[in-house]
Amino acid sequence: MKIAIASGKGGTGKTTVSTNLASLLAESENVVLTDLDVEEPNSGLFISGKKIREEDKFKMIPEWKKDECILCGNCQKVCNFNAVMKLGKMIMVFPELCHGCYACSELCPTKSLPMIPKKMGELKHFKSGNLDFIESKLIIGEEQAVPLIKQTLDYVDENFPKRTIKIFDAPPGTSCPVIEATKDADLILLVTEPTPFGLHDLILAIETMKELKKEMGVIINRFGIGDNNVEKYCEENNIPIIAKIPNMRKIAEIYSGGNLIYTKIPEVKIQLESIISFISEYQQENVL
């Protein structure tokens, strides 16, 4: 079963929920936690384990071989991303603009633009008891997160049985990286805070997930701060609120040091247990 933790607004507590939930679940069963926020992955700062695998991840880009090139300019013509250009007697490739569609390469009449791998990030796999933790990190300067997210999801699919509970820490927002990180999930848990910013971005996230026809539940973090408009909105739109994590300065302090919270604050553990029962009900109803 795949559960994506997403949020709309950044900094609402996605990583806190993902790491604490995965660790609590791992006390009794096998769990895979994957950090898909490849631009700024943070889950690893809260999970300790033994590194069992490390892989470089590549995207494919064209490389110009001038010997056979007849400078016909077809490559420039077929590229929709301005990533290949004919400048005088040279063909220039701009790797950061390339989406890796292969059109220039495969349609080149002289095969002068073979595709070569370019490193875009790293995947690391850690293990600690029942918990497998996987994180991928984009190299600074690489602009596209989606290909790395895709390869990370493939790694998880290839290495773990279908039935294992898999938790994915998704990137913030509602644009293409979020779609990639959530589109295969069975269940989406949206973490928000009860503030105008939180609600505004939660609505965007809910609209996005409705478009993807996803089942969702809402987790309100920092409950007690702000106002009650998030609760009102969820009630009116029939979206279940499955946990309310209290607003406590102590939680922010524990988090700041890179520590798990539920082991120190019983109220948080109770809320996580309520998330777990929501998940297992869903699992039973849908035979996942």
Partner 1 sequence: MKEIVIISGKGGTGKTSITASFAYLGGKNIVVADCDVDAADMHLLMQPDLEISEDFYSGLLAEIDQEKCIKCGKCAEVCRWDAIPVIDNKYVVQPLDCEGCGYCALVCPTDAISMNEQNVGKWFISNIKTKTKMVHAKLGVGADNSGKLVAKVKNEAKALAEKGGKNIVIVDGSPGVGCPVVSSLSGASYVVLVTEPSVSGIHDLKRVYELVKKFGIKAGCIINKADINNNKTNRIKQFLEDEKIDFIASIPYDENFTKAMTMGKTIVEFNDGKIKQILEKSWEKIKKI
Could you tell me the smallest distance in angstroms from the CB atom of residue 35 to partner 1?
A: 11
Of 201, 260, 265, 268, which one interacts with partner 1 (CB under 8 A)?
A: 201
Binding flag, residue 144, partner 1 (CB under 8 A): yes
Angle, helices 196-211/229-236, rounded to nearest 10 degrees: 20
By C-beta, is 100 or 217 nearer to partner 1?
A: 100
Binding flag, residue 143, partner 1 (CB under 8 A): yes
Binding flag, residue 276, partner 1 (CB under 8 A): no
Residue 79 CA, distance from chain mean position = 28
103 half-sphere exposure, CB direction, 13 A CA radius = 15
Binding flag, residue 213, partner 1 (CB under 8 A): no
Which range in 48-56, 124-132, 159-167, 249-257 contacts partner 1 by CB under 8 A?
Answer: 249-257
Q: By rule CB under 8 A, what count of residues binds partner 1?
A: 61
By C-beta, is 132 or 142 nearer to partner 1?
A: 142
The count of other CB atoms within 10 Å of the CB of residue 96 is: 12
By C-beta, is 23 or 144 nearer to partner 1?
A: 144
* Backbone angle region of 222, left / alpha / beta, with phi > 0 → left and psi within -120 to 50 → alpha: left
Binding flag, residue 62, partner 1 (CB under 8 A): no
Distance CA 138, CA 38 (A): 5
Of 51, 53, 111, 200, which one interacts with partner 1 (CB under 8 A)?
A: 200
Q: What is the secondary structure of 209-261 as a DSSP string?
A: HHHTT-EEEEEEEEETBS-SHHHHHHHHTT--EEEEEE--HHHHHHHHTT--S
Using CB atoms within 10 Å of the CB of residue 195, give its burial: 0 to 12 exposed, 13 to 18 middle, 19+ buried: middle
Binding flag, residue 22, partner 1 (CB under 8 A): no
Binding flag, residue 94, partner 1 (CB under 8 A): no
Distance CA 22, CA 134 (A): 12
Place of tokens 């009116």: 236
Binding site for partner 1 (CB under 8 A): 7-13, 15, 37, 39-40, 42, 45-46, 78, 80-81, 99-103, 106-107, 138, 140-145, 171-179, 183, 195-197, 200-201, 204, 207-208, 211-212, 225-227, 249, 252-253, 255-258
